[in-house]
Amino acid sequence: MHVGEILVTVAVGFLLIGSAGYLMSIYNSLIALKNNIGRSWANIDVLLKQRHDELPKLVKTCEGYMQHERDVFNRLSEARGALLKAHTVPQRAEAENMLTKALGQFFAVAEAYPDLKADASFLQLQSRISELENQIADRREFYNDTVTTFNTRIQQIPDVVVANWLAFTREELFKIDSADRQDVEIRFSLAG
Amino acid sequence: MAGFELPLYATLALGAGPVLFHRGFRDLRVRRLIQNTPTAKIRSMAMGLVEICGQVVARSTQTAPFSARPCAYWELDIATLTGRRGWSIVHRNRSGHPFFVRDDTGVAMVYPQGADCRIGFGVTEECVGLTLPECYAQYMSEQDLAMRHVWRLGTMRFRERILEEGFCVYVLGTAVPRGRVLTVSEGEPLAATGTGGWAAGRVQGLIEDATGVIRRGENDPTFIISQQSERDLTTGLGLNAMLKLVGGPALTTAGLGYWLHALASGHLFR
């Protein structure tokens, strides 16, 4: 074999290995990104579960004080019910938005009960739920960042080739309900 | 002597090419990892691989060995000049003390051991070994570096990089839960870190507030502490990867070409 031929073979070998390696790195990174989406959602789920666990305690603490506010309790209960039925990410997101809204209204109504506001358990639960909601908001942002990165990558060249081969499709964002951006409407029921 | 240089360089190129090629892919992987990992808020960061940005808060007061500036973390290296204007690093050291990173939502503790620190060198000085400034001579003496007298016969280079309180840093590493510590003798552990008085309370508060500890992970060893922004970091890594992926094969081909040509013509070392 001639020296020139050997060198061309080596250069072509590097080119082939390089191309294969590059494709492999795209494949691996898309798979990692896809798994990151699952992980980000699971990380939100942990907090949502913690928030759900606080709800019965909240209801129990407030029941004695807010006996005439069946409406807000019902909304909380409906939201929890919707969560149990939700299975996909968009359904869960919708149910969670409903619960967030119901909680917002619940705390707004609770403002009208000074005795309840002075209750140590209520204050602790309110603070805990508020902290959890802040964390959920952060993780929702993180989840949406991950999904956006994934959605952008699978549409860009050269990643689109590997994404099509893997049949990757766009993932859904965890959107905030437009009603959540509006102020909470407070309506006090009259006792009796 | 010149006759040995070309075969030597050709052999080095032949060996270095695949290594560079491999490192190019490694840089590419790290670049992808940085791009794929969104920046988390410290308050809600999940355990596992995380990326955070924030300001450095010192855990204990330290003094950088060369510049004598107060800092949260320092790293240094000493090099000696070899034949063809190349520096050979003969000593490396780092403070290794943990520090905190704070963003607008919370605080995390960072254990910098094993991190790839991409911080600019605050001090870079080349000196003739026999007339070394006091700070360098004193450091070598304190460290009891066995070869220091030999190194001082030639030209030496001293470099130091530090992270001062308030610096903005980018950290990509593995977050683990903060360890629960039972304080047996109050005050003494903090005093041992060089922190005392009112500062002890501040540090204790920060430790209690820390959401987690970021360190080099066991499963994913990627751990970067950088003063560059994420964009600059990925651009730099992309360029590095490109250079290595192209340069590696080019070097190998050149080295191999030389040897094949030399063997074919039977004129070795000419």
Tell whether the model's pLDDT for residue B172 goes beyond 90: yes
DSSP state of B128: E
Q: Kindly determine whether residue B25 and residue A134, on different chains, have CB atoms separated by under 8 Å.
A: no
- Mutation for testing the B interface, residue in A12, A35, A50, A138 having most B CBs under 10 Å: A138
At B3 the pLDDT is 67
Reported as a pLDDT band with limits 50, 70 and 90, residue A51 is confident
Mean pLDDT across B147-174 = 88
Range with the poorest average pLDDT among A4-18, A78-92, B213-227: A78-92
Reported as a pLDDT band with limits 50, 70 and 90, residue B207 is confident
At A186 the pLDDT is 43
Tell whether the model's pLDDT for residue B19 goes beyond 90: yes
Q: Kindly determine whether residue A36 and residue B36, on different chains, have CB atoms separated by under 8 Å.
A: yes
Residues of chain A contacting B33 with CB distance shorter than 8 Å: 29, 32
Residues of A with CB under 8 A from a CB of B: 3, 6-7, 10-11, 14-15, 17-18, 21-22, 25, 28-29, 32-33, 36, 39-40, 43, 47, 134-136, 138-139, 141-142, 145-146, 149
What is the tally of structural domains in chain A?
1
What one-character-per-residue DSSP string does B174-194 give?
A: EEEPPPP---SSTTHHHHHTT
What CATH number does the domain containing A116 carry?
1.20.1440.20
Spell out the domain ranges in chain B: 1-36+231-263, 43-228
DSSP state of A118: T
| Measured distance between the N- and C-terminal CA atoms of chain B, rounded to whole angstroms | 11
- How many whole angstroms separate alpha carbon B60 and alpha carbon B98? 8
Residue A56 phi/psi, 5-degree rounding, is -60, -35
What the block records as the tokens of B233 is 């970091």
What the block records as the tokens of B167 is 């610096």
Looking at residue B218, its amino acid is E
Answer whether residue A186 is part of any domain: no
Answer whether residue A13 is part of any domain: yes
The predicted-structure confidence for B174-185, as pLDDT tens digits, reads as follows 999 877 655 555
Percent of chain B topping pLDDT 70: 89
The predicted-structure confidence for B56-90, as pLDDT tens digits, reads as follows 998 887 889 998 889 989 999 999 888 766 888 99
Q: Kindly determine whether residue B36 and residue A32, on different chains, have CB atoms separated by under 8 Å.
A: yes
Decide if B255 contacts B11 (C-beta within 8 A). yes
Task: Identify which of B28, B46, B261 has the shortest CB distance to residue A3.
Answer: B261
At B259 the pLDDT is 87
Burial of B63 (0-12, 13-18, 19+ CB in 10 A): middle
- How many whole angstroms separate alpha carbon A83 and alpha carbon B110? 38
Q: How many CB pairs under 8 A join A and B?
A: 73
Separation of CA A118 from chain center: 33
Give the domain range for residue A169: 3-181
Separation of CA B34 from chain center: 17
